[in-house]
Amino acid sequence: MSKYTNRRSGALIGLAVVAAVALVGCGDPDRPADATGISDTRQDEAVDVVAPAGALVREAAQRSAEAPTVQIWVRITRNGKVLTETTSHSTADGSASTGTMTMPGAMGEIATLSTPEAFYFQFPNLPDGKEWVRMGRDEMTDMMGIDPGAAQQDPHAAFSILEGVSDDVAVVGSEDVNGVATTRYTFTVSMDALMAQAVESGVLTDQAAAATSVFEDKTEMNVWIDDDGLVRRTRYQLNQASDGDQTLANQVGMIGYEMEFSNYGEPVEVTAPAPEVTMSLADMLAGS
């Protein structure tokens, strides 16, 4: 196997981590509020608990999810270091998206796009005449333990959990997000409940969900909402549990997850690469 294939294989491992962590926030908007694992937020002198805040967060989640398209920027860190940054402009049903993924190291920035049938990655150093690597949605399921067919139902995965938040939400205060005035809210979520939902909905396999057992059961979620009632940012951190599987914990560590949302409603145009300039995932891993 060539050094380039090793690098691309490493990038795919990174993709697996990104995908698994990204889907932690998936939920079912039709569930009642108490089924999402939402619990009391932290209460201290820095914030004031205001009951109506929960309703404002739920309304913002619903309004944001109704947008036909949205651009999403995601940064995932591990133990304080950037694991990956991605930008994706996606349709509401997840059937089409275009964007980039930046990973530290030799891979650099990778162009990405998706169609109803497959995902495409523009890895560097591909064989002459090849520009894209194609990964079918079934391959994504087999490799990463994630069902993209389920996941694509809502590319705004972070909105789903917000739609089920209770009224135990704290108002932190006013903050700007990329020049947009917003109000920041905070509450806590249960990992166990979220993973149960992800498995039940088919987004994650049991094995993929089990990998999150190394984290503490509860984590704080922060959300920023603008004056138009649209979600502009979400942020949370998954902390390693002291009694978890230490071997796995050493591989994963503390994961930070931040998303920013913009360009609501702007058109998304995606054209699948021509077959002659694509190669399969299997051929790439084989070094063909």
Could you give the CA distance from residue 188 to residue 222 in angstroms, rounded to a whole number? 9
Q: Which of 30, 4, 283 is nearest to 153 (CA)?
A: 30
Q: Which of 154, 186, 188 is nearest to 170 (CA)?
A: 186
What is the model's pLDDT at position 232?
96
Q: Give strand pairing partners of 119.
A: 114, 135
Digit-coded pLDDT (tens) for 1-37: 443 344 444 444 344 434 433 433 333 333 333 333 3
The values of phi and psi at residue 162, to 5°, are: -70, -30
Burial of 247 per CB tally in 10 Å (0-12, 13-18, 19+): exposed
The alpha carbon torsion through 205, 206, 210, 216 (nearest 10 deg) reads: 80
What is the model's pLDDT at position 157?
64
Could you state, in order of their start, the residue ranges of all structural domains in the chain? Answer: 3-286
The values of phi and psi at residue 80, to 5°, are: 85, -10
Digit-coded pLDDT (tens) for 200-233: 655 556 666 666 666 777 888 899 999 999 999 9
b/e code 114-143 from CB counts within 10 Å (16+ = b) = bbeebbbbbbeebeeebebbbbebebbbee
* Residue range 3-286 in CATH 3.40.718.10: no
What is the rounded average pLDDT of the residues 133-138? 85
pTM of the model: 0.73
